[in-house]
């Protein structure tokens, strides 16, 4: 019995030695990630029902606060409305409204570019809070962007 153990050990050592000299590479098999159907559904579901995309840009300088608002709805969208509000951070660290603009378009897409009045140097936040409407329902959207001057 003792001889069998020595023979087995010798053969294992010889196999390892031959494999290391011949350049054989061994890799572990990748195990596919295990996800539940709930996680998969959560990852692929859209954030909005009627909105395809929404984007808000802001640049504040001595001329004011230049904005670029884009909201693209699905073909069933009949109206996009809301308010753009420009806030400035005060000495307490709170944002205070300095100007705003109401928006209402009877279309499925808005691409607006314009300027709001700013009030000197500081930290600014621009927020669009609105509603996207269809014949079958509506949903709200709020997006924000910040800039400093």
Each residue's pLDDT tens digit, 113-125: 999 999 999 999 9
* Euclidean distance between CA atoms 115 and 59, whole angstroms: 9
DSSP assignment of the chain, as one string? -HHHHHHHHHHHHHHHHHHHHHT----PPPPPP---HHHHHHHHS-S-SSEEEEEEEEEEETTEEEEEEEEEE-TTEEEEEEEEEEEEE-TTS-EEEEEEEEEEESSSEEEEEEEE---SSSEEEEEEEEEEEETTEEEEEEEEEEEE-
For the segment 97-111, the average pLDDT, to the nearest whole number, is: 97
Q: How confident is the model at residue 23 (pLDDT cuts 50, 70, 90)?
A: very low
More confident call, 35 vs 128: 128
Residue 110 and residue 69 in contact, taking contact as beta carbons nearer than 8 Å: yes
């Amino acid at each position: 019995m003792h001889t069998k153990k020595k023979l087995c050990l010798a053969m294992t050592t010889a196999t390892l030695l031959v494999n290391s000299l011949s350049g054989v590479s061994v890799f572990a098999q990748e195990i596919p990630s295990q996800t539940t159907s709930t996680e998969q559904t959560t990852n692929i579901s859209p954030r909005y029902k009627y909105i395809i995309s929404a984007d808000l840009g802001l640049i504040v300088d001595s001329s004011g606060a230049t904005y670029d608002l884009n909201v693209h709805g699905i073909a069933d969208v009949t109206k996009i409305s809301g308010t753009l509000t420009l806030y400035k951070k005060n000495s307490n660290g709170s944002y205070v409204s300095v100007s705003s603009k109401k928006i209402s378009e009877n279309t499925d897409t808005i691409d607006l570019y314009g300027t709001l009045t700013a009030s000197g140097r500081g930290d600014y936040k621009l927020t669009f809070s609105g509603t996207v409407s269809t014949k079958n329902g509506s949903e709200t959207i709020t997006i924000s962007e910040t800039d400093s001057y």
